[in-house]
């Protein structure tokens, strides 16, 4: 009786155990996961017959979020792809309702500890620990999303028409080449889905190669390099930096066209220099503080600043010549020959008072002939007004040795009036008046000479100003064309053009 009771109790316990087991695994997948993880150790690395673990690594690029020239950091969003084989995770799918793949938390299985070598962050783990996909043949696939900040050495020589080559270098943190080797999940390139990829407003993605760097020694770590070649869109910098600087340089050419008497030549030059300095400061905020490369645009901005400095210096020189006079400076004859006779006709200029001189000479000749005619007429009228006895005396006196006093009247223009008359001795008051007249005449001649010298200096400053304007414009045009040619003839990678055609639909 006791034996029978014990047997019944044993059967009840077995039935209860079976029912509890069936309630625990409410699905075949749960049962499969439980069996796979039973006795599984996440610390043990899966290996092949050679004792190595091969991990295929791939990247599905979502977005190039930013690329900072100042800090030389690229920030990118992507999905990582890690694939390896773990023989402990193989099963017969026919025993588990045809289940081919299941999902297991990566905290419960072995995953490769892969770090990014050129990361700029302290936290090297993925942003989200998603589950891994485990296949019936033992293959394990893990696709964690990540946002990486990686260092990227910037070559800003062609800024803002530059292209950048940025790489992300992955390697194992624990296992060298003798224990872990790498492969590529998507061939020799980064996978980009054109329906998912988000374009960057400043950079265009052209090339995306990927390759594995194998080491000669097994004690070294293999590396996987993923490279993105980006080309900058220059429209923003051309419209907001280069074009204003070029306009300031063009405006500085007209500083020389501004009259000296306006008194604003130096003020305008300094204002333009301050404006150009602001753009140089904005440009310096974008560039990395390194001396490896010097951007061509920085050289051009420095060239424009030097031109503005020279324009201020030239304005000072022109001001100095403009306000000179013969009291302090005497103009050398070589300068007159060089500026008045050579540079002035070459620049299409003509000295104003030389025109007046030619016209005054013609007027003087006309006045002299007219005065001679008037003098003769007056002489004839004078002779006609004399009495017959006086006229006979004036004509016959020299024949008999008598002396007659005659005087030629001097007119205002310096012409001689041939009016023979008998005059009395000049009084002292008249002589004093004549001397005073000569002094006044000499004084006015001196003032006229000073005025003429003053006008010569003003005209020389005007010629110099116009000459410097053309030289300044020539230097500006040559410098600008040199910058354009230098940028246009720079050596770009040959495969960039082909890649551009392939990536247009991104």
Opening angle at CA 388, ends 382 and 389, nearest 5:
110
pLDDT class of 28 with cuts at 50, 70, 90: confident
46 domain residue, yes or no: yes
The per-residue DSSP string of 331-359 comes to --HHHIIIIIIIIHHHTT---HHHHHHHH
Number of domains composing the chain: 1
Rounded Cα distance, 112 and 81, in Å:
11
Q: Counting beta carbons within 10 angstroms of the beta carbon of residue 276, is it exposed (0 to 12), middle (13 to 18) or buried (19 or more)?
A: buried
The pair of three-digit structure tokens given for residue 170, joined into one six-digit string: 């992955």
Highest mean pLDDT among 128-142, 206-220, 440-454: 128-142
Element holding 294 (H helix, E strand): none
Residues 232/160, Cβ–Cβ less than 8 Å: yes
443 domain residue, yes or no: no
Task: Taking residues 425-430, report their average pLDDT.
Answer: 68
pLDDT class of 505 with cuts at 50, 70, 90: very low
3 state SS of 400 = helix
Rounded Cα distance, 178 and 51, in Å:
8
90 domain residue, yes or no: yes
The pLDDT value given to residue 366 = 52
The per-residue DSSP string of 16-74 comes to HHHHHHHHH--SHHHHHHHHHHTT--TTSPP--TTS-EEEEEEEEEEEEEEEETTTTEE
Whether the model clears a pTM of 0.85, i.e. scores above it, the answer is no
- State whether the Cα torsion 314-317-321-323 is positive or negative: positive
Cα 24 to its chain centre, rounded Å, is 71
33 domain residue, yes or no: yes
506 domain residue, yes or no: no
Rounded Cα distance, 380 and 377, in Å:
5
Report the candidate in 145, 19, 172 with the shortest Cα–Cα distance to residue 76.
145
225 domain residue, yes or no: yes
The pLDDT value given to residue 493 = 58
The pLDDT value given to residue 474 = 93
Interhelix angle for 296-322 vs 428-488, to 10°? 180
3 state SS of 326 = coil
Largest CA distance in the chain: 207
Residue-range definition of the domain harbouring residue 214: 26-233
CATH number, domain of 53, equals 2.70.170.10
The per-residue pLDDT of the chain, averaged, comes to: 78
218 domain residue, yes or no: yes
Number of H helices, E strands in the chain: 12, 15
């Amino acid at each position: 009786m006791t034996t029978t009771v014990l047997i019944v109790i044993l059967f009840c316990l077995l039935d209860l155990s079976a029912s509890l087991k069936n309630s625990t695994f409410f699905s075949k997948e749960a049962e499969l996961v439980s069996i796979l993880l039973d006795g599984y150790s996440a610390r043990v690395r899966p290996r092949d017959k050679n004792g190595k673990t091969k991990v295929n690594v791939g990247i599905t690029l979502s977005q190039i979020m930013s690329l900072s020239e100042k800090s030389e950091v690229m920030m990118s969003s992507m999905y990582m792809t890690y694939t390896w084989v773990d023989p402990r995770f193989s099963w017969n799918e026919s025993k588990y309702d045809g289940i081919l793949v299941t999902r297991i938390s990566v905290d419960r299985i072995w995953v490769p500890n892969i770090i990014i070598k050129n990361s700029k962050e302290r936290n090297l783990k993925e942003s989200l620990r998603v589950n891994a996909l485990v296949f019936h043949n033992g293959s394990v696939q893990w696709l964690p999303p990540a946002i990486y900040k990686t260092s990227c050495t910037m070559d800003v020589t062609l800024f803002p028409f530059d292209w950048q080559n940025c790489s992300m270098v992955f390697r194992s943190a624990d296992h060298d080449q003798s224990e872990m080797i790498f492969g590529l999940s998507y061939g020799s390139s980064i996978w980009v889905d054109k329906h998912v990829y988000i374009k960057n407003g400043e950079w265009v993605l052209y090339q995306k190669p990927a390759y594995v760097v194998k080491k000669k020694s097994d004690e070294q770590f293999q590396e996987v390099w993923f490279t993105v070649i980006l080309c900058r869109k220059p429209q923003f910098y051309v419209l907001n930096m280069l074009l204003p600087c070029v306009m300031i340089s063009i405006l500085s050419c007209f500083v020389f066209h501004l009259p000296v008497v306006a008194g604003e030549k130096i003020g305008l030059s300094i204002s333009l220099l301050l404006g150009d300095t602001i753009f140089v400061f904005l440009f310096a905020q974008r560039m990395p503080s390194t001396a490896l490369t010097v951007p061509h645009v920085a050289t051009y901005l420095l060239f424009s600043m030097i031109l503005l400095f020279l324009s201020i210096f030239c304005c000072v020189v022109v001001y100095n010549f403009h306000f000179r006079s013969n009291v302090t400076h005497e103009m050398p004859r070589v300068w007159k020959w060089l500026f008045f006779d050579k540079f002035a006709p070459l620049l299409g200029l003509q000295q104003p008072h030389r025109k007046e001189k030619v016209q005054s000479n013609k007027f003087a000749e006309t006045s002299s002939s007219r005065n001679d005619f008037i003098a003769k007429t007056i002489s004839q009228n004078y002779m006609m007004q004399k009495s017959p006895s006086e006229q006979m005396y004036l004509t016959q006196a020299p024949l008999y040795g008598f002396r007659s006093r005659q005087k030629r009247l001097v007119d205002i223009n310096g012409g001689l009036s041939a009016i023979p008359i008998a005059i009395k001795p000049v009084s002292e008051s008249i002589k004093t008046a004549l001397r005073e007249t000569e002094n006044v005449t000499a004084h006015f001649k001196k003032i006229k000479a000073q005025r003429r010298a003053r006008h010569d200096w003003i005209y020389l400053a005007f010629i110099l100003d116009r000459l410097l304007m053309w030289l300044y414009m020539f230097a500006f045009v040559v410098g600008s064309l040199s910058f354009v040619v230098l940028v246009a003839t720079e050596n770009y990678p040959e495969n960039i053009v082909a890649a551009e055609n392939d990536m247009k639909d991104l």
